[in-house]
Structure 1
């Protein structure tokens, strides 16, 4: 029996290599079957600002649990925007972003949904960045009329990464192989079961360059950077709030209350207008920092301890800052 253990270990490892950039399986997920309801988190005067949280790894796929699924970050954002659009009293939206990014498609869908929301409603959108608003998290912020970075925010990482785990070394050691029959020369390009050829590396780089070019063009269209600053941004480095302000990626350094103030100013709302958010549960002593109903990133747990480190990365093209994924 012990001779089969290496093969079983390799097989279990391979199960995590389905397409995507982050694990999608979740043992337990918070209840998500109740409809979203409006709750006041700040202010008392007439008129409303809708506060929407965008957190964690950005994906179009829900986290699957044994009991129920949890909405994806994209699904939850769209749900919130629909409620804000349908309420004539809502004059502006503040999107609180704390995300290292995610899949290229999820990031682009969020950008599209916020852009369309502004076109349909004419309601201004202000972004408030928290710990991290990098890569796809920054991509999603681009349609905003004003971007406020917290004094300790990390942002930037404008670029694309293609993560693809490799098992061929492990499989060689345990004596396991994979036989492939294919219709075309490049049908299995990116396979984890063999080394990547030089030709395949060039093909992948072409895809990455194309996706990155879209990201760069959107940054330039919204932020109007100088040529020198755009070249710095293209290095895909991350920036502190002060650095991001200097280079032109954000408009202001402040706190979420400053984002509320800017939203009130842009929408012509009263200085103490109501700030509302949309949740599925009532929380006593609620406030703008409560993110309990925001879509959560996948974090496998062992007896309540984050066990993300035991899982391999998943293959996929991502607008993501890898340094912020396992926070």
Structure 2
């Protein structure tokens, strides 16, 4: 009996993080504001360099001692500084993300679009290793998209992920009893198989989100019918392939992104590139994606913990092949 209970609890901890008890050690919150640091250039006028990386979520991430800001919070804070500074004429958004939740991706898209509408400032996206699914979704408002020669992008689609425990629970003799108010109240439950009717309902939701994604791609990229159909398969593309189908505008490096942003914004070639950080970094440069050196923000084993743990049940604009 004890062995069965142990396995049941272990399953809950590993597959259902929301079920696991959370132990927190409270510490004073980080209150250092974002400050401007020049990472390139000495001339007049500015470009703001903002990094968007990792799995995109709207909720703060749990740290060992305190939560850390989500990508949505950090991007909105940086855009606000870029908006308030009249010397900033454009933004270079460095994207390295396989995507994330549907809602976080859509909020990022909305905030970048609203920033452009309010300010008239140009936005250039530079893609690094991966800018797929939600990472590409958030890039759509850009006036110009540059991908590194080795970038993987695309994955224009939706996936619904949820853990399933019913088979293993049956083997160890654990069950969950549910009382509900309506037939579909527990649809998607991890404790029982999904019915054919529920599968159809989930597919309708997936199709709805996918249609929104594909329509936004067409709105911003104006693809041919054949290329739009190919993109709609949700496959990923190399930079060369993405250029051919029209998902990006240029293959190059971050310096090419700076050059294009300066051109679009009417800035001189030696205008400054600034980043917003909470800490000073010696020998800072445009490839530094961090806003803070706080060890609290360092990830276990040097990888994104969100990509290691089983995902929370939900709908995602994400390419699972980029999990690392």
TM-score, normalisation: structure 2 = 0.92
Q: Is the 8 A contact 1:32 1:280 kept in 2?
A: no
Structure 2 gaps of 5+ residues are: none
Instruction: State the match for 2:137 in structure 1.
Output: 139
Counterparts in 2 of 1:1-327, with a 5 A limit?
1-2=2-3, 4-13=5-14, 15-16=16-17, 32-293=30-291, 301=300, 311-326=309-324
Q: 1:79 to 1:59 in 2, by over 3 A?
A: same
Report how far residue 161 of structure 1 moved: 0.3
Structure 1 gaps of 5+ residues are: 19-23
Distance 1:32 1:88 in 2: 28
Structure 1 outlier segments of 4+, above 6 Å: 24-29, 304-310
Report how far residue 68 of structure 1 moved: 1.6
Q: Is the 8 A contact 2:154 2:235 kept in 1?
A: yes
Secondary structure of 1:41 counterpart: strand
Secondary structure of 1:144 counterpart: coil
After superposition, the C-alpha distances for 1:182-201 in whole angstroms (9 at most, x for unaligned) are 00000000000000000000
Q: Is the 8 A contact 1:95 1:127 kept in 2?
A: yes
After superposition, the C-alpha distances for 1:238-282 in whole angstroms (9 at most, x for unaligned) are 000000000000000000000000000001001110000000000
Q: Is the 8 A contact 1:157 1:238 kept in 2?
A: yes
TM-score, normalisation: structure 1 = 0.91
Distance 1:193 1:114 in 2: 40
Report how far residue 299 of structure 1 moved: 8.9
Give the number of aligned pairs.
317
